[in-house]
């Protein structure tokens, strides 16, 4: 059989990400205040985009939306704005844009902050292929607050119409970016990337990472067996794993003073607690359609007409994207509040176990969408202001008081509720009776919450509560100072 090269033409369908989908992904992660700031920047460049003046007056916003003139007598003329159309809201085909990758990223990186800016700068320095750089930019917008890329290859390929081989090659390059572990799919993947970046990866380390569930159960003998080593050889590998960072994006979480205004407000109604969007900080977009109709009828150059057409389309897309963002945020918030009615009545001690997947399944959305919706969002309640993310908590097994050791009547409580109870017990202890970790275990067990001593110690440390010995010394010093 003789093999010879030949050319073939094939046809296949791809689902391309349209502008609405791109904007929904980007805008969903913004808070109301950040969204308003972004819209203001867009309005400086788009003559057909404005704030809804009536909406802002009703919300008590003192700023009057800027008026857009339709002639060249006031403000910049069309010829001055032709070059102002930005990549953010252009058609998704980056190949049609001229210039190199650095030029493509210049404005984008300036508008971003934190982890996104850090990654965009690396893309400009490390990725010279324009198509691959455009894909890397797209994937950066998909990262969650921990720096993980949760979606599978199949989901990404189907959504943005990229070839699987190109996606894998791009991810391989992105996995070499700092902070080490970014663009990982899960915890094991993240820790593997960090070990490889440090040059400390071995097959034995990988065996440990492949069996994190055994480590989580505290079965050291089972873990050693899975790693094909003796139990006595485990400590160095455990120390290496503990030294890694499970949240590579955490270092880029910087306090932001602009997040003082809540995005969601929870109020009590006849049917219980209900979530509402904060209209005082939620901007509403207006597309100046009449201006577009009037200017389109004038005698203008093709360049000016193309500029106007591009901007009016961008304005329409942005309006739809902000409306979709608001609807998604409201839907997610109401599902969270419905699940945590006890929290709004009884505080953190009444918080129920709840994960992103629970809400995603309830409202039939992807888990990553829920994650982006709650990222950075604040909720105002009768008990104060919280992050929406604070209302999520992992489940801890517990037994009701009087339950048999066989496991009858098993229930679960949230980790945050347990922490709140530990904090309350320590706050209520007297100077002469400081509760040790063993004593806290006994008190919690009496309330139906069965925990190991090491778990109580871990939660106490997470709450920055000193040990019982340190608290006793502090109480003694306080008594001596009082005398």
Most confident of 256-265, 305-314, 352-361: 352-361
pLDDT recorded at residue 256: 46
Average pLDDT of span 165-173 = 91
Strands (E), 172-315: 264-269, 272-277, 285-287
Q: CA 452 to CA 441: how far, in whole Å?
A: 7
pLDDT recorded at residue 88: 31
For the segment 21-43, what is each residue's pLDDT rounded down to a tens digit? 666 677 888 888 888 888 888 88
pLDDT recorded at residue 220: 84
Peptide bond between residue 32 and the one before it cis (omega within 30 degrees of 0): no
Most confident of 159-173, 408-422, 435-449: 159-173
Q: How many domains does the chain have?
A: 4
pLDDT at 402 exceeding the cut of 70: no
Q: What percent of the chain has pLDDT over 90?
A: 15
Strands (E), 323-441: 378-381, 384-387, 395-399, 410-414
Are 170 and 25 found together in one domain?
yes
pLDDT recorded at residue 96: 36
pLDDT recorded at residue 117: 83
Average pLDDT of span 56-62 = 42
pLDDT recorded at residue 276: 93
Contacts for 164 with CB less than 8 Å, ≥ 6 apart = 153, 157
pLDDT recorded at residue 14: 53
pLDDT recorded at residue 102: 54
Q: CA 443 to CA 428: how far, in whole Å?
A: 13
pLDDT at 79 exceeding the cut of 50: no
Residue with the larger pLDDT of the pair 88 and 449: 449
Instruction: Please check whether residue 347 is in contact with residue 383, taking contact to mean a CB–CB distance below 8 angstroms.
Output: yes
pLDDT recorded at residue 54: 55
pLDDT at 334 exceeding the cut of 90: yes
DSSP structure string for 88-137: GGS-S-GGGS-S-HHHHHHHHHHH--HHHHHHHHHHHHH---HHHHHHHH
In a domain, residue 253? The reply is: no
- For 185, the token pair is 């799919």
Are 411 and 339 found together in one domain?
no
In a domain, residue 326? The reply is: yes
- Element spanning 424, H or E: helix 415-428
Distances (CA, A) of 107 to 39, 59, 87, 122, 404: 15, 32, 9, 15, 64
Q: Label residues 76-115 b or e (16+ Cβ within 10 Å = b).
A: eebeebeeebebbbeebebeeeeeebeebbeebbeebeeb
Are 152 and 203 found together in one domain?
no
Residue with the larger pLDDT of the pair 197 and 20: 197
Are 202 and 157 found together in one domain?
no
pLDDT recorded at residue 359: 92
Q: CA 60 to CA 281: how far, in whole Å?
A: 9
Q: CA 136 to CA 138: how far, in whole Å?
A: 5
Strands (E), 283-383: 285-287, 378-381
Average pLDDT of span 58-74 = 38
Query: Which of 135, 153, 174 delimits the end of a domain?
Result: 174
303 SS3 class: helix
Q: What's the mean pLDDT when you consider all of the chain?
A: 76
Q: CA 32 to CA 21: how far, in whole Å?
A: 19
C-alpha gyration radius of the chain: 28
Q: Domain containing 465: what range?
A: 395-482
pLDDT at 45 exceeding the cut of 80: yes
Q: Which of 178, 180, 181 has its CA nearest to residue 125?
A: 178
Average pLDDT of span 351-358 = 87
Contacts for 421 with CB less than 8 Å, ≥ 6 apart = 349, 444, 447, 449
Quick count: other Cβ atoms within 10 Å of Cβ 345? 13
Are 401 and 457 found together in one domain?
yes
Backbone angles phi, psi at 108, to 5 degrees: -60, -45
In a domain, residue 4? The reply is: no
Q: CA 480 to CA 483: how far, in whole Å?
A: 5
pLDDT recorded at residue 21: 64
Are 379 and 401 found together in one domain?
no
pLDDT at 368 exceeding the cut of 60: yes
Q: Which of 279, 241, 425 has its CA nearest to residue 349?
A: 425
414 SS3 class: strand
Query: Which of 370, 391, 412 delimits the end of a domain?
Result: 391
186 SS3 class: coil
Are 427 and 478 found together in one domain?
yes
- For 296, the token pair is 């389109």
Are 410 and 273 found together in one domain?
no
In a domain, residue 40? The reply is: yes
pLDDT recorded at residue 77: 32
In a domain, residue 308? The reply is: no
pLDDT grade for 296, boundaries at 50, 70 and 90 = confident
In a domain, residue 255? The reply is: no
pLDDT at 222 exceeding the cut of 50: yes
pLDDT at 59 exceeding the cut of 70: no
pLDDT recorded at residue 196: 92
Average pLDDT of span 306-331 = 87
Query: Which of 391, 413, 444 delimits the end of a domain?
Result: 391
Average pLDDT of span 237-248 = 87
Are 408 and 474 found together in one domain?
yes
Are 266 and 122 found together in one domain?
no
pLDDT at 401 exceeding the cut of 50: no
pLDDT at 203 exceeding the cut of 90: yes
249 SS3 class: coil
Average pLDDT of span 60-86 = 33
In a domain, residue 233? The reply is: yes
In a domain, residue 293? The reply is: no
Residue 179 CA, distance from chain mean position: 17
Are 385 and 401 found together in one domain?
no
Are 358 and 327 found together in one domain?
yes
CA dihedral sign, ordered 197, 198, 199, 204:
negative
- Element spanning 50, H or E: strand 49-51
Q: CA 73 to CA 39: how far, in whole Å?
A: 25
Instruction: Please check whether residue 378 is in contact with residue 264, taking contact to mean a CB–CB distance below 8 angstroms.
Output: yes
pLDDT at 481 exceeding the cut of 70: no
pLDDT recorded at residue 125: 85
Q: Which of 10, 472, 42 has its CA nearest to residue 283?
A: 42
């Amino acid at each position: 059989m003789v093999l010879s090269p030949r050319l073939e033409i094939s046809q296949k369908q791809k689902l391309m990400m349209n502008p609405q989908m791109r904007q929904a992904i980007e805008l969903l992660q913004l808070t109301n205040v950040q969204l308003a700031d972004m819209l203001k920047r867009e309005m400086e460049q788009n003559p057909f985009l404005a704030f809804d003046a009536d909406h802002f007056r009703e919300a008590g916003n003192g700023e009057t939306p800027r008026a857009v003139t339709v002639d060249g007598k006031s403000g910049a003329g069309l010829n001055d704005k032709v070059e102002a159309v930005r990549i953010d809201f252009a058609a998704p085909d980056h190949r049609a844009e001229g210039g190199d990758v650095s030029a493509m990223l210049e404005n984008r990186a300036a508008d971003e902050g934190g982890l996104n800016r850090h990654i965009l700068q690396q893309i400009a320095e490390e990725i010279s292929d324009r198509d691959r750089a455009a894909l890397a930019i797209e994937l950066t917008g998909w990262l969650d607050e921990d720096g993980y890329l949760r979606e599978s290859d199949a989901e990404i390929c189907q959504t943005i119409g990229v070839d699987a081989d190109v996606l894998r090659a791009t991810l391989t390059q992105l996995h070499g970016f700092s902070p080490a572990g970014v663009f990982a799919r899960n915890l094991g993947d993240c820790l593997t990337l960090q070990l490889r970046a440090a040059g400390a990866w071995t097959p034995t380390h990988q065996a440990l990472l492949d069996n994190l569930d055994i480590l989580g159960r505290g079965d050291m003998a089972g873990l050693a067996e899975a790693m094909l080593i003796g139990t006595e050889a485990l400590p160095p590998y455990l120390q290496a794993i503990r030294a890694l960072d499970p949240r590579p994006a955490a270092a880029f979480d910087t306090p932001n003073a602009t997040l003082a205004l809540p995005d969601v407000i929870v109020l009590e109604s006849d049917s219980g607690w209900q979530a509402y969007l904060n209209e005082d900080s939620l901007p509403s977009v207006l597309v100046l359609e009449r201006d577009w109709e009037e200017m389109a009828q004038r005698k203008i150059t093709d360049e000016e007409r193309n500029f106007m057409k591009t901007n009016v389309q961008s304005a329409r897309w942005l309006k739809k994207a902000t409306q979709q963002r608001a609807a998604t945020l409201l839907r997610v918030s109401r599902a969270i509040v419905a699940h945590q009615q006890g929290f709004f009545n009884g505080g953190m001690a009444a918080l129920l176990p709840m994960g992103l997947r629970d809400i995603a399944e309830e409202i039939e959305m992807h888990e990553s969408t829920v994650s982006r919706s709650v990222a950075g969002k604040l909720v105002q309640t009768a008990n104060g202001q919280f992050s929406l993310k604070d209302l999520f908590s992992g489940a801890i097994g517990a037994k009701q008081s009087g339950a048999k050791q066989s496991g009858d009547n098993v229930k679960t409580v949230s980790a945050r509720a347990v922490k709140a109870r530990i904090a309350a017990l320590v706050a209520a202890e007297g100077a002469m009776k400081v509760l040790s970790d063993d004593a806290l275990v006994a008190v919690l067990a009496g309330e139906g919450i069965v925990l190991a001593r090491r778990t109580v110690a871990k939660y106490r440390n997470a709450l920055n509560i000193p040990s019982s010995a340190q608290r006793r010394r502090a109480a003694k010093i306080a008594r001596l100072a009082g005398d």
